[in-house]
């Protein structure tokens, strides 16, 4: 199907809503409580005045940092990371953080199925009990050429794969976001192939870098960043990092992914970061650091070549970098 609407993440940076437009969340909620929102500003929904329900996993954080993963740049400001987002389920612009508070993160059931010894459904808190939680500092590079550095909390995806015990015939792992257009109004945009789906080849999924994030900045994951479970693959463009996962399916077929379905000429399955392969409509040579105008050179595999380059040996004929 043709792409009918222009995607927000394809807007030039200058056309994106300025971050200053977004008020500090606490100040905004407090103002709502005191009835101080001036006429002319958007009215807050009823749930916002009370704030989102407390996340029962809060006591698990902060988790010990894994010092193996170091950064060559400063961490991004938490406020920037949590108020400048891509989450099309809640709108195709960067300011969806408040709309995303509607996402109910409990109860939350995760299905693990497909080519596994024993399919299972797990409650998110049971899953967190079984996984080795740690903190990792990773760079993140969006295909739109902005970048951030984030302290994610979570667990290696390999731990989940090992728990699932895939059959020898499984070659890929597909991951899917929830689907509920009552919660996520963006899912009423029928030309998108909901639910958002992503996938990795199994050797990518079990690579030491592949991570399932459950929190950031020493706290549970906020809804806008993909609560309660979100993939993080720092050597790939950010659209691979599927948010709010409800299903992990092991399969022997490469899955059709969300953006590869919407725009196959521009977005592919592999999506590895490479400054020398431009997007069809812009250069990938540099990236803007979130929260500033500074541009820095982009690195092959986003600087993680030592961890992942071997995964793609002998695949030179494939579209590895989009």
Q: In Å, how far from its chain's centre is CA 37?
A: 31
C-beta closer to ligand MTE: residue 114 or 238: 238
Quickly list DSSP for 244-301.
SEEEEEEESSPPPPHHHHH-TTT--SS-B--TTS-BTTB--SEEEETTSS-EEE--GG
- 22, 61, 69, 87: which one contacts ligand MTE (CB under 6 A)? 87
Q: Which stretch binds ligand MTE (CB under 6 A): 41-49, 80-88, 99-107, 154-162?
A: 80-88
- For residues 196 and 247, the answer to whether their CB atoms sit within 8 Å is no
Q: Which positions from 104 through 163 interact with ligand MTE, judged by CB under 6 A?
A: 142
Give the integer Cα–Cα distance in Å for 115 and 46: 44
**How far apart are CB 242 and ligand MTE at their closest, in Å?**
5
Tell me: does residue 225 bind ligand MTE (CB under 6 A): yes
Q: Does 88 bind ligand MTE (CB under 6 A)?
A: yes
Q: Closest approach of Cβ 314 to ligand MTE, in Å?
A: 29
Check: CB of residue 235 under 8 Å from CB of residue 209: yes
* Among 55, 89, 134, 287, contact with ligand MTE (rule: CB under 6 A): 89
* Cβ(221)–Cβ(213) below 8 Å: yes
* Residue with smallest beta-carbon separation from ligand MTE: 238
284 binds ligand MTE (CB under 6 A): no
Which residue number, 98 or 142, has a Cβ lying nearer to ligand MTE?
A: 142
SS3 assignment, position 59: helix
Who contacts 62 (Cβ-Cβ below 8 Å, separation ≥6)? 135, 153, 218, 219
Q: Does residue 214 bind ligand MTE (CB under 6 A)?
A: no
Nearest approach, Cβ of residue 84 and ligand MTE (Å) = 7
The one among 57, 76, 85, 153 contacting ligand MTE by CB under 6 A: 85
Of 153, 152, 116, nearest in space to 131 by CA: 153
**217 to 33, 134, 214, 244: CA distances (angstroms):** 26, 12, 11, 18
- Which stretches of the chain are assigned E, i.e. beta strand? 109-114, 120-123, 134-141, 146-156, 172-177, 197-201, 211-216, 219-220, 230-232, 245-251, 286-289, 295-297
Which of residues 241, 257, 272, 302 is near ligand MTE by CB under 6 A?
241
Query: Least Å distance between CB 165 and ligand MTE?
Result: 26
The separation between CA 100 and the C-alpha centre of its own chain, rounded to angstroms, equals: 13
Near ligand MTE by CB under 6 A: residue from 101, 153, 177, 214: 177
Only one of the segments 38-46, 158-166, 235-243, 260-268 lies at the binding site for ligand MTE (rule: CB under 6 A); that segment is 235-243
Selected from 91, 156, 238, 303, the binder of ligand MTE by CB under 6 A is 238
User: Interface residues for ligand MTE in 9-68 (CB under 6 A)?
Assistant: 9
Among 239, 269, 301, 304, binds ligand MTE (CB under 6 A): 239
How many residues of this chain bind ligand MTE (CB under 6 A)?
A: 16
The edge-to-edge listing of strands for the beta sheet with 197-201 is 120-123, 109-114, 245-251, 172-177, 197-201
With respect to ligand MTE, which residue has the nearer C-beta, 165 or 185?
A: 185
Rule CB under 6 A: which residues touch ligand MTE? 9, 85-89, 142, 177, 196, 225, 238-239, 241-244
């Amino acid at each position: 199907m043709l792409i009918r609407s222009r995607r927000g993440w394809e807007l030039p940076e200058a056309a994106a809503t300025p971050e200053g437009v977004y008020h500090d969340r606490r100040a905004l909620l407090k103002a709502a409580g005191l009835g101080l929102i001036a006429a002319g500003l958007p009215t807050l929904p009823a749930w916002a005045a009370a704030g989102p329900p407390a996340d029962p996993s809060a006591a698990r954080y902060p988790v010990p940092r894994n010092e193996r993963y170091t950064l060559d740049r400063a961490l991004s400001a938490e406020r920037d990371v949590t108020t400048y987002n891509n989450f099309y389920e809640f709108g195709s612009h960067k300011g969806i953080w408040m709309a995303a508070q509607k996402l109910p993160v409990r109860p939350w059931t995760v299905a693990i199925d497909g080519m596994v010894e024993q399919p299972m459904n797990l409650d998110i808190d049971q899953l967190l009990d079984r996984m080795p939680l740690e903190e990792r500092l990773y760079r993140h590079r969006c295909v739109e050429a902005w970048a951030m550095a984030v302290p994610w909390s979570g667990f290696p995806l390999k731990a989940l794969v090992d728990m699932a015990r895939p059959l020898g015939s499984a070659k890929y792992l597909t991951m899917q976001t929830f689907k509920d257009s009552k919660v996520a109004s963006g899912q009423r945009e029928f030309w998108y192939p909901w639910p958002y789906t992503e996938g990795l080849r199994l050797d990518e999924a079990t690579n030491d870098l592949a991570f399932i994030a459950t929190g950031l900045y020493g706290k549970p994951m906020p809804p806008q960043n993909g609560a309660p479970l979100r993939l993080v693959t720092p050597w790939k463009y950010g659209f691979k990092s599927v948010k709010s996962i409800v299903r992990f399916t092991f399969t022997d077929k490469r899955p059709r992914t969300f953006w590869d379905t919407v725009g196959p000429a521009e977005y592919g399955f592999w999506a590895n970061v490479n400054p020398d392969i431009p997007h069809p409509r812009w250069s990938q040579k540099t990236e803007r650091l979130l929260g500033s105008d500074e541009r820095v050179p982009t690195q092959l595999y986003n600087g993680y070549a030592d961890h992942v380059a071997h995964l793609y040996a002998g695949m030179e004929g494939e579209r590895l970098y989009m």
